[in-house]
Structure 1
Amino acid sequence: MDALEAPSSTGELYAVNADGTGDGIIFGYRMGSQGATHIAKGTSQLAFATLVDPLRDDPRRALIAIYPANGASLGNMRTMSANGVFPTVARIDLFSGVTMQVTTSPMRNASFMTDHHGVVRFAYGVDADQSGKVWYRAGDGKEWQLVFDEAKEHRRASPLAFNRAEDKVYFSCGGAHGVGGVCLWDVATQALSPLWSGTVSGVEELVSSFDDNDSFAIRSMPDRVATTLLGKNTPEATLLVGLMQQFPGEDVRITSSTPDGKKVVFFVQSDRDPGQFFLYDGAAHKATFLFARRPWIKPEQMAATEPIALKARDGLALHGYLTRPAGHEEAKNLPLVVFVHGGPYYVRDRWEFDPYVQMLASRGYAVLQVNYRGSGNYGEDFVSKGFREWGGKMQDDVTDATQWAIAQGVADPKRICIFGGSYGGYAALEGAVKEPDLYRCAIGYVGVYDLRLMHTRGDVPQSVFGENYLKKVLGEDDSVLWDRSPIAHLDRLKAKVMLVVGGQDTRVPPVQGESMRSALNKAHIEHDWLYQRTEGHGFYDEKNLADLFEKVGAFLDRNIGVQAAMK
């Protein structure tokens, strides 16, 4: 079997001293096989582990969550966990790798949250019935209590952090407008009260104080990043406001600090800048550049991304982004690429640097992104409006956004292509057959083309979680699934097609792309085909990505670029 280009996690944990010495694996299947290392006593475990709490007051230990593989191979440990493993929390010795169990989750596949003393107090997540649940316990040795059950209460909430006094807990919640917010959960009364409500979208991040014992700000992204201060006179807020003033128009985020706030690492990014890390010295009141992500990128040469808002045909408010080529920010009648995000549920396009968007803009194309119904961070109701709407209202939202770009004069109606990966690949080909006169070309990147195969092929239907998910979001009527599959309606196709497939894709296996290719050949429809046998669900290798970008660019140039405009 060919190797996969993208590295994948095997659930192992690795520890290293701050000075770079003493490094080694402290948890996982390779424990005890490292040779000369400071790790000497831990035993091998076929399990997947994540960090729960670093226990900042205990330099030797941390809390981890362990998801046993139950005899599964390394390649499908996550799947086995999804099939019903009740994870445990253990205290691990960072020097020996020895673990000691602390508690077991009352629900499958849970995540955990501790209080400020390192006591596990919450277990939460989405259960096999696809409803969110939150379990609480008052302390070590106490019984677990179910405090939120979406299946019964028809609302979803999840814990974020304790406040300093530990008498209240910050929760993500629906908020006053139903699009998301932050609530306070009273530990004594178990009552939930609103603290902050989004007007367009919900909470992105609750920002911790320097000592991690409270929160001082809420980050959201209604269009660009917005920061709401909970305590304006705190040292953290004062520093953050000062940094934001030093980097106007950019997203400034504190990523880590010493407990006293004398040393703070912060990150600055934007739509044109992949991001830079800085170290702030509180004593010297000075910020020093550390390093940049993608340092070869020159932000001044990149294209700006602007937020947009529109109404779908049924009146639903939609939001998204429009990027025009650098130097052509006010240009009209441009060739347009409608770039559809994957997921599709609980995922959204964001105001940030996107290499695919910048690649397209650098070649002279305007790029339109829309957060269609089903996208995340606009509230549970917005997500549920997308259930069983593959090829239906979700697709109509993409169409309506395309028509909006035409009506605004941004797009040349004769030079529009639709492009996307995963669900976006489905939407690209479905858009081409559902709206044959709207798109000149369509690019399906690791996409789904026969919805019936979603129930039988790939890693999603291999777990009870995945099976229930597909029943909820797709339905089980094969006739409906076939009718909403682009492969079923190639007789309507007018657009030129490009298919991109990863040979090692387990999420959307190659059979999806291969079946579409076969159907196109049978219908005598010429198309571009790019298959990389060692890539998975999205290309990872730099050479393969460069090849993808070049071939996508050439395909667009032939169909909606300058060459196409002259025909």
Structure 2
Amino acid sequence: MMDRRRWIVAALLLLFVSVLQAQPVSFADLAKHPEYREVRISPDGKYVAATALLQGGQTVLALVDLATRKPIILRLREGDDVVRFDWVGPERLVYSVGHRIGGYDAPLSTGELFAVNGDGSGANMLYGYRKTAVNADSGSLIPHATTERGTASLIAAIPDDPQHILVSVSLWDTTGYELNLPVAYRMDVRSGDKIKMLTAPMRGAEFLADHQGRIRFAYGEANDGSWKVYEHPLKGDGWTLLPEFSNNRSTPLAFSSDDRTVYFECPAGAAGFGVCSWDVATRKLATVWSNQRVEEDDLAQGLARDSIIGVSFTDGRPGLSVFDSQSADAQALIMLMKQFPGEQVSFTSGTTDGGLSLVLVQADADPGAFYLFDPKAHKLTMLLPRMPWIDPSQMARKQPIEFAARDGLKLQGYVTYPPGEESAKQLPMVVVVHGGPYGIRDRWDYDPDVQALATRGYAVLQVNFRGSGGYGYDFVKAGWRQWGGTMQDDVTDGTRWAIAQGIADPKRICIYGVSYGGYAALEGAMKEPDLYQCTIGYVGIYDLPLMFHRGDTHDSSWGEDFLKRALGNDMAVLASHSPINQLDSLKAKVMLVVGGKDYRVPEIQGLHLHQALLDRHIAHEWMLKPDEMHGFYNEANVTELYTRMLQFIGASIGPGMTGKAAAAGAAAH
């Protein structure tokens, strides 16, 4: 009898544990922001700096002494978030701050520049417009703060002169309706005193300097969309336009550590896209990497600070091509990759001598963690996980896909299956359309929106439609003036491909997107009324002509010219491709999500469509958060969004595969 009772208790405990394990990740956990986003080691290896999230949602700078592992949190003004930081000397770093404008856009920089030592001492404002800024150590007025209405950004550190940096400054009062005209300065990292070096040859330009503190290139896009690359001579004044690089839309990426070579993004002819090395002495160009289908993501960091070992790219899954596979850096990276099969492994920063490096390990189901690596000792130590509450084994995995659009154009994307249902067929599916749209792309990465859907039993389809980034300028340009046209057709063709492959149940498909994706979600439901059973527009655009009058894109002449170039200027055509004017075609159920303080896509876009639906007595789900911006940032609001969105999807196309299986199991017992 006792044995039987023990058996029953053991069985119940096993059942309880299995039920707990079967529970999907909570929406609250998916809504949480990463504890750490970026982490960098100091050049001397004594400190680590990281952007850390406080309880109230503010992003601050955390400084960690690696000897004691004691952290120091650098407090900021209320409302400020750290935007960027870089070590500029053995123990000193500079950082900039900004104000949040939503969950999907980087904070808007205040233009100020600050500096601090690795131990938290010597905090100072180097540049800024707020005259009452106070020293973070003593609370006294900062004696060396430069009171100037402008934006300062770091160009580069100067390795042989750790007391100075190169900065780009753009004055607000001289910009007006145009893009800024940057001026390069040499700045003291203790006082903020600066000496002018030169002025950019064009508005909106970026600078590239060598490791000796000399500005060598300037580049950028002109108002008419043309690309310009200029070179500045080592001796003499003036800028020289480089026609070959300009016409090919080549971008100078970085100097080699010895300054003998400049790496450029460049066309590779029949080989597709490339990265080229440009010999400074001979001025000869040589292709060092090429790919027929995708552009590079970035130059790959080596063990040491400023070292370059290859090229990273994303051709479906992330890849890395090293210049010398027998080098110590490459061998170390290969060794680390073997420890983390199926994950993306990369060096993110290193000491000057390469004696210590930071390694980031991440994947589609893993938000990532930073490790400290000692190559001599072959020792890898966990340092800072981004989201330790996420269990990758419970997350869904992305599968890269390829298909041809109706006009034959090859397209890439991803299908994410519910966990454990990777071979299932006829799944309920949600098409997720990325924002931008130009120059942005979906990647093989951890995406909480995708996980919220897939872990609830829905297949997720993402398409890198024409106009997306990563596939070359011509691919981006192919999306110009195609809102509601071929860009939309690419998403439709991807949906029909998923149906033809047996992945999706054709009667159980919804479409969802953010920003431009919100437009495409509603436009898809209008243009293909029998394809989608529900549509969700999140901070989306529903009246295209309104973009020329409301929002922040048209605030400069460059932005206005871009709108005309990318959308077109025929208001009748734009109106005909606006979801708000196509409600006669609507069959799908609708959910609209709006941020009341959205400056990128003002709430009037959502409010007008909401009212138009009410006027037609079309029932729909409406979610307005007055204090949110372009994408929700508040974790409670994101949790509510996921909850209501999944309830809406379930009511529209039924429960996901996981939900059906659970319901069947419950009915059987």
Tell whether the structures are fold-level matches, with TM greater than 0.5. yes
The code of the aligned residue for 1:442 comes to: T
Alpha-carbon shift at residue 191 of structure 1 (Å)? 4.8
Q: In the alignment, which residue of structure 2 is the partner of 1:433?
A: 526
Q: In the alignment, which residue of structure 1 is the partner of 2:200?
A: 105
Q: In the alignment, which residue of structure 1 is the partner of 2:427?
A: 334
Q: In the alignment, which residue of structure 2 is the partner of 1:269?
A: 362
The code of the aligned residue for 2:180 comes to: V
1:502 aligns with 2:589: no
Q: In the alignment, which residue of structure 1 is the partner of 2:172?
A: 69
Q: In the alignment, which residue of structure 2 is the partner of 1:43?
A: 146
The 3-state SS of whatever aligns with 2:367 is coil
Alpha-carbon shift at residue 190 of structure 1 (Å)? 4.5
1:16 aligns with 2:119: no
The 3-state SS of whatever aligns with 2:310 is strand
Q: In the alignment, which residue of structure 2 is the partner of 1:173?
A: 266
Pick aligned residue for 2:127 from 4, 11, 27: 27
Alpha-carbon shift at residue 23 of structure 1 (Å)? 2.5
Quick check: which has more Rg, 1 or 2? 2
Q: In the alignment, which residue of structure 2 is the partner of 1:216?
A: 309
1:530 aligns with 2:623: yes
Distance 1:344 1:81, change over 3 A: farther
Q: In the alignment, which residue of structure 1 is the partner of 2:219?
A: 124
Given that 1:428 and 1:443 are in contact with CA atoms closer than 8 Å, whether structure 2 keeps it comes out as yes
Q: In the alignment, which residue of structure 2 is the partner of 1:257?
A: 350
**Segment of structure 1 superposing worse, 175-184 or 521-530:** 175-184
Given that 1:178 and 1:379 are in contact with CA atoms closer than 8 Å, whether structure 2 keeps it comes out as no
The code of the aligned residue for 2:324 comes to: G
Give unmatched runs, 5+ long, in structure 2.
1-78, 80-98, 664-669
The 3-state SS of whatever aligns with 1:11 is strand
The 3-state SS of whatever aligns with 1:231 is coil
Alpha-carbon shift at residue 532 of structure 1 (Å)? 1.1
Alpha-carbon shift at residue 130 of structure 1 (Å)? 1.7
1:92 aligns with 2:187: yes
Alpha-carbon shift at residue 95 of structure 1 (Å)? 1.4
Q: In the alignment, which residue of structure 2 is the partner of 1:56?
A: 159
Alpha-carbon shift at residue 384 of structure 1 (Å)? 1.1
Given that 1:60 and 1:95 are in contact with CA atoms closer than 8 Å, whether structure 2 keeps it comes out as yes
Alpha-carbon shift at residue 26 of structure 1 (Å)? 2.1
The 3-state SS of whatever aligns with 1:274 is strand
User: How far apart, CA to CA, are the structure 1 residues paired with 2:269 and 2:393?
Assistant: 40
Pick aligned residue for 1:521 from 592, 606, 614: 614
Deviation digits for residues 406-437 of structure 1 (CA, Å, limit 9, x no counterpart): 11111111110000001100000000000000
TM-score normalised to the size of structure 2? 0.80
The 3-state SS of whatever aligns with 2:550 is coil
Q: In the alignment, which residue of structure 2 is the partner of 1:133?
A: 228
User: How far apart, CA to CA, are the structure 1 residues paired with 2:131 and 2:351?
Assistant: 31
The 3-state SS of whatever aligns with 1:221 is strand
Distance 1:159 1:199, change over 3 A: same
The code of the aligned residue for 1:51 comes to: L
Alpha-carbon shift at residue 68 of structure 1 (Å)? 1.3
TM-score normalised to the size of structure 1? 0.93
The 3-state SS of whatever aligns with 1:369 is strand
The code of the aligned residue for 2:582 comes to: H
User: How far apart, CA to CA, are the structure 1 residues paired with 2:131 and 2:505?
Assistant: 59
Q: In the alignment, which residue of structure 1 is the partner of 2:453?
A: 360
**Segment of structure 1 superposing worse, 493-502 or 139-148:** 139-148
Deviation digits for residues 528-557 of structure 1 (CA, Å, limit 9, x no counterpart): 111111111111111111111111111111
The code of the aligned residue for 2:133 comes to: S
Pick aligned residue for 1:485 from 578, 581, 596: 578
Deviation digits for residues 17-49 of structure 1 (CA, Å, limit 9, x no counterpart): 112223233221135630536952232122112
The 3-state SS of whatever aligns with 2:110 is coil
User: How far apart, CA to CA, are the structure 1 residues paired with 2:371 and 2:262?
Assistant: 31
Alpha-carbon shift at residue 194 of structure 1 (Å)? 2.5
Alpha-carbon shift at residue 380 of structure 1 (Å)? 1.3
Task: Map residues 314-463 of structure 1 onto 2, 5 A cutoff.
Answer: 314-463=407-556
**Segment of structure 1 superposing worse, 192-201 or 514-523:** 192-201
The 3-state SS of whatever aligns with 1:200 is coil
Given that 1:81 and 1:109 are in contact with CA atoms closer than 8 Å, whether structure 2 keeps it comes out as no
Deviation digits for residues 467-509 of structure 1 (CA, Å, limit 9, x no counterpart): 1101111111111101111111100000000111111111111
1:243 aligns with 2:309: no
Given that 2:346 and 2:360 are in contact with CA atoms closer than 8 Å, whether structure 1 keeps it comes out as yes
Given that 2:301 and 2:349 are in contact with CA atoms closer than 8 Å, whether structure 1 keeps it comes out as no
The code of the aligned residue for 1:70 comes to: D
User: How far apart, CA to CA, are the structure 2 residues paired with 1:13 and 1:135?
Assistant: 27
User: How far apart, CA to CA, are the structure 1 residues paired with 2:313 and 2:424?
Assistant: 30
**Segment of structure 1 superposing worse, 329-338 or 19-28:** 19-28
**Segment of structure 1 superposing worse, 279-288 or 418-427:** 279-288
The code of the aligned residue for 1:498 comes to: M
The 3-state SS of whatever aligns with 2:439 is coil
- The percent identity for this pair of structures is 49
Say how many residue pairs are matched.
Answer: 555
Q: In the alignment, which residue of structure 2 is the partner of 1:75?
A: none
The 3-state SS of whatever aligns with 1:133 is strand
Given that 1:335 and 1:560 are in contact with CA atoms closer than 8 Å, whether structure 2 keeps it comes out as yes
Given that 1:341 and 1:424 are in contact with CA atoms closer than 8 Å, whether structure 2 keeps it comes out as yes
Deviation digits for residues 155-174 of structure 1 (CA, Å, limit 9, x no counterpart): 31100112345343111122
Given that 1:131 and 1:149 are in contact with CA atoms closer than 8 Å, whether structure 2 keeps it comes out as no
**Segment of structure 1 superposing worse, 333-342 or 86-95:** 86-95
Distance 1:386 1:177, change over 3 A: farther
Given that 2:301 and 2:348 are in contact with CA atoms closer than 8 Å, whether structure 1 keeps it comes out as no
